[in-house]
Amino acid sequence: MPYTPSPRIEAMRKRCVDRFDERSFGAWRDYLYLEGWMRAAGASLPVRNAEALANVIEHMPVHADSDDPLVGEHGNDHAMVNFRPHCGPEVVARARGAGLPDGHVAMMEQWLAADPFRWMELAPVAPWPEPLRLLQERSVVQVWGTDLNHSIRDYEKVLRLGFAGIRAEADAAMAGLKPEEPQASQRMANLTAFRRIADAASGLGRRWAAALPRGSQEARICARVPERPARTFREAVQALWFAHMITVWEDGVNANGIGRIDQFLWPYLERDLSAGRITMPEAADLLAALWLKLYQPYDVQQMMVGGQKADGADAVNPLSFLVLDVTEAMGFVRCLSARLHNGSPREFVARCVDLVARGGGIPFFFNDEALVPALSQRGISLEDARGYAAIGCIEITIPGKANPHAVSNWINLPKVLEIALHGGRDPRDGVQAGPPTKPLDECATFDDVMASYTAQLEHCARWAAYGSNSAEIAHRSQYRLPYLSLLTDDCIARGLDIIEGGARYNCHSSAAMGVPNAADSLVGLRDAVFANGKTSPAEMMDALSRNFADAEALRRFLWDRVPKYGNDCDEPDRMAAELVRQYVEIMDRLRSPGGGRFFTHLFTFTLMLPMGKAVGATPDGRRSGEPLAYSVSPGQGRDKSGLTAVVRSLAALPHDQVAASSSAILEADPTLFEGSGRDAFIDLLRTAVRLKVGQLQFNVVSADTLRAAQADPDRYANLCVRVSGFSQRFNLLDREMQDHIIARTKHRT
């Protein structure tokens, strides 16, 4: 039976969505974090970070609503972030604008006048060397490399042990330290920090219990969790929410995921159902209350259902379906993905498809048949690999066990090719941005072109790794994340913060951008220049430099006559696969400071627009500055042979080597799901799983509807679309992104 929210939940939903701003605590988190930081002046970095966060946990405002079945608010409005150097003026302005009391604002001004974060500039790394600076300025390489956000904490551990049990683990680790160990003092500082956070977190529920009516069910639950283990589904959901509140207070809301919610909550629900303590509609209302707590107009607090258990058995359970039902009934953007494998029940796939058909791009799909092998071949145990989950957009991690450094760097493959064709120079200004290699007009064979491209790519990869590794080293002297560490194996056992390498698994992910464009361009070069002599190398260079001015016949040949990736054509599909394999092989050779691997990621996020502007005309017929393809989806308007052909092109890529996950958004006209189309779509999705397509997202909306929404945004205020690893209301996107989405092919077959 479909889930129908109770009147209580409907009232909460209206209040939450219509009056979202009322949930903000203004700048209280900023003030409390800074207050704790300043009080701990002179303490070690781990202890000072812990004192700052503990002050937030112990003093954030308590807003208790007796009509709310799930209590507590994190008060986030997407502006709370960890402090950065020179953060004074903007933080004070935000505090004043958010209505923080004048005395508190004055204290923040006083504290920040001392510039307490300037020391962060003393990180023990060199400024960007000239080669990396040149690559970054030209949008060939983009380095991020951060440890901040993009995580999934071990929430199951909070439910199982409570923070009192986790505090006992820290106590045992401290008691086991031997003073003669060379790193004992470092470990003691970290364990002291971990214990401080566990102690503060233990009291969180009691603060809310004191604000609730004495004897109420909610007060009794809060008096127990998250300090002690959860015993019931109600306690487990409340403990989960409290635990996530602290996540947001430490590290912001962006891309800090919930994990496999149907796996760690199901044992509690199963026991309660068997004992008659709860009904499915009551459980659904509790989940709906959690959905409302998580609600953000833009949301990447990812959660996941389905997939496999550690032993490889199917993991789908009744809670998996209930999560889908609640998501559908709430009717707003809720970041949700589904894991599929060859043994996924057809009824589960069908229920997911029914939700997809409603539009909004939820859920989106990850393929165990590709991702588990990719992870297990790169140092992740098979059992842990089967426990992977999506973080925010489509990045993946091993919940509670890994520091993934998600999207640590990006490499713009069409720009790499452009520089290779010009002998390592950027044609926009003639600067030598890469090593000298043969330019196109000196290449006698297509193999010469590939040799130049490979040399430039290897150069970019080395410097991208340098940038990511530099960021990792810098962060070790700048930040600590004691709460994330507390809920990540094996930080307590090693006595190391996650930023210091304490997690069981440490890796970076490098995102290859523009694979479809680079593949189509290389096939265009091979066909037009070296195979049939349609044009000479010099003529091709001239046409590209002039953006095909006076060379429209050549451009049309490249665009119309040369086969394109996304149409189940051997040449471009093989070329795209070869480019991915090459990228994986290069990244597999690189290492991080702690010996971690660089996993490959086939993802653009929204950078296909700005990165495309940095690339001139390309040999696939694309004009200068036009967008790149989204991740591994075909370029706009190039997939002309139907949805099945796109899936077969995607299947040509070696997704089972892409350990950080791939991404593809496919556009489907709503008519595709009518009549027998629904069953055909289910079969297509199951076939994609069998063919090891790593990840799929679907937009189900017609171009006509999008154009109407663009012209009359108020009328279509609730229209949601899949953007780039996340869903968003269409009317909140800028015009450029709206046009990009409209231009994607809307498949009817």
- What pLDDT is attached to residue 395? 93
Q: Is the pLDDT of residue 167 over 70?
A: yes
Does 686 reside within a domain?
A: yes
- Side by side, which strands form the sheet with 695-700? 259-260, 303-306, 336-340, 364-367, 695-700, 665-668, 746-747
Cα 5 to Cα 287, 466, 620, distances in angstroms: 10, 52, 51
Concatenated DSSP letters of 602-614? B--TTTTTHHHHT
> CA 746 to CA 12: how far, in whole Å?
36
Cα 106 to Cα 37, 40, 94, 102, 116, distances in angstroms: 16, 19, 13, 6, 16
Rounded to the nearest 10°, the torsion over CA 18, 19, 21, 24 is -130
H-helix or E-strand spanning residue 371: helix 368-376
Rg for the chain (alpha carbons), in Å?
26
Q: Helices in 490-626 by DSSP H: which ranges? A: 491-494, 515-525, 537-545, 552-556, 570-588, 610-613
> CA 603 to CA 631: how far, in whole Å?
4
Q: Is the pLDDT of residue 85 over 80?
A: no
- Within 604-725, strands assigned E span 665-668, 695-700, 720-722
Q: Is the pLDDT of residue 83 over 80?
A: no
Does 383 reside within a domain?
A: yes
> Closest by alpha carbon to 152, among 603, 571, 503?
503
Question: What letter would DSSP give residue 338?
Answer: E
- What pLDDT is attached to residue 303? 96
pLDDT tens string 241-294:
999 999 999 988 888 999 999 999 999 999 999 999 999 999 999 999 999 999
pLDDT tens string 199-234:
999 999 999 999 999 999 999 999 999 999 999 999
**Domain assignment of residue 277, given as a range:** 256-390+664-749
> CA 516 to CA 629: how far, in whole Å?
6
Does 719 reside within a domain?
A: yes
Contact predicate 389/154, CB 8 Å: no
Q: Which of 67-76, 562-571, 632-641 has the highest mean pLDDT?
A: 562-571
| Percent over 70 (pLDDT), the chain | 97
Question: Which tokens sit at 517?
Answer: 């464009």
Contact predicate 479/147, CB 8 Å: yes
Classify burial at 316, counting beta carbons within 10 Å of its beta carbon; exposed 0-12, middle 13-18, buried 19 or more: buried
Average pLDDT over residues 686-691: 97
- What pLDDT is attached to residue 192? 98
Mean predicted lDDT score pLDDT of the chain: 93
- What pLDDT is attached to residue 393? 86
Q: Is the pLDDT of residue 50 over 90?
A: yes
* Domains in the chain, number: 1
Phi, psi of 133 (to 5 degrees): -60, -45
Residue 66 pLDDT level (bands cut at 50, 70, 90): low
Cα 155 to its chain centre, rounded Å, is: 18
Residue 84 pLDDT level (bands cut at 50, 70, 90): low
Does 364 reside within a domain?
A: yes
Residue 716 pLDDT level (bands cut at 50, 70, 90): low
Phi, psi of 446 (to 5 degrees): -65, -30
> CA 551 to CA 542: how far, in whole Å?
9
pLDDT tens string 516-562:
999 999 999 999 999 988 999 999 999 999 999 999 999 999 999 99
Q: Is the pLDDT of residue 144 over 90?
A: no
> CA 135 to CA 464: how far, in whole Å?
9
- What pLDDT is attached to residue 545? 97
Average pLDDT over residues 464-486: 95
Residues in the chain: 749
pLDDT tens string 374-396:
999 999 999 999 999 999 889 99
> 149: how many CB neighbours lie within 10 A of its CB?
23
| Percent over 90 (pLDDT), the chain | 77
> CA 682 to CA 664: how far, in whole Å?
17
Classify burial at 103, counting beta carbons within 10 Å of its beta carbon; exposed 0-12, middle 13-18, buried 19 or more: exposed
Handedness of CA 145, 146, 149, 154 (dihedral sign): positive
pLDDT tens string 330-372:
988 889 999 999 999 999 999 999 999 988 889 999 999 999 9
> CA 245 to CA 252: how far, in whole Å?
10
Concatenated DSSP letters of 49-76? HHHHHHHHHHHS-----TT-SS------
Classify burial at 101, counting beta carbons within 10 Å of its beta carbon; exposed 0-12, middle 13-18, buried 19 or more: exposed
> Closest by alpha carbon to 248, among 289, 181, 299?
299
Beta pairing, strands 389-390 & 396-397:
antiparallel
Does 699 reside within a domain?
A: yes
> CA 162 to CA 229: how far, in whole Å?
4
Classify burial at 180, counting beta carbons within 10 Å of its beta carbon; exposed 0-12, middle 13-18, buried 19 or more: exposed
Taking each helix axis as running N to C, give the angle between helix 280-294 and helix 318-330, from 0 to 180 degrees, rounded to the nearest 10: 50
Does 320 reside within a domain?
A: yes
Question: What letter would DSSP give residue 559?
Answer: I
- What pLDDT is attached to residue 717? 65
- What pLDDT is attached to residue 744? 67
Question: Which tokens sit at 112?
Answer: 């920040």
> Closest by alpha carbon to 259, among 374, 381, 153?
153
The 3-state DSSP class for residue 212 equals: coil
Does 337 reside within a domain?
A: yes
Q: Is the pLDDT of residue 118 over 90?
A: no
Question: What letter would DSSP give residue 425?
Answer: B
Cα 629 to its chain centre, rounded Å, is: 19
Contact predicate 511/604, CB 8 Å: yes
The 3-state DSSP class for residue 391 equals: coil
Higher pLDDT pick, 741 / 116: 116
Phi, psi of 189 (to 5 degrees): -60, -45
- What pLDDT is attached to residue 746? 65
Question: What letter would DSSP give residue 432?
Answer: B
Does 460 reside within a domain?
A: no
Average pLDDT over residues 297-319: 94
Residue 81 pLDDT level (bands cut at 50, 70, 90): low
Kindly report whether the global pTM for this prediction surpasses the value 0.75: yes
Taking each helix axis as running N to C, give the angle between helix 446-476 and helix 413-421, from 0 to 180 degrees, rounded to the nearest 10: 130
Handedness of CA 248, 251, 253, 257 (dihedral sign): negative
Contact predicate 264/156, CB 8 Å: yes
* Distance linking the first and last C-alpha atoms of the chain: 31
Amino acid in the structure at residue 599: F
> CA 726 to CA 724: how far, in whole Å?
5
Please tell me the least confidently modeled range out of 378-382, 395-399, 731-735.
731-735
> 581: how many CB neighbours lie within 10 A of its CB?
15
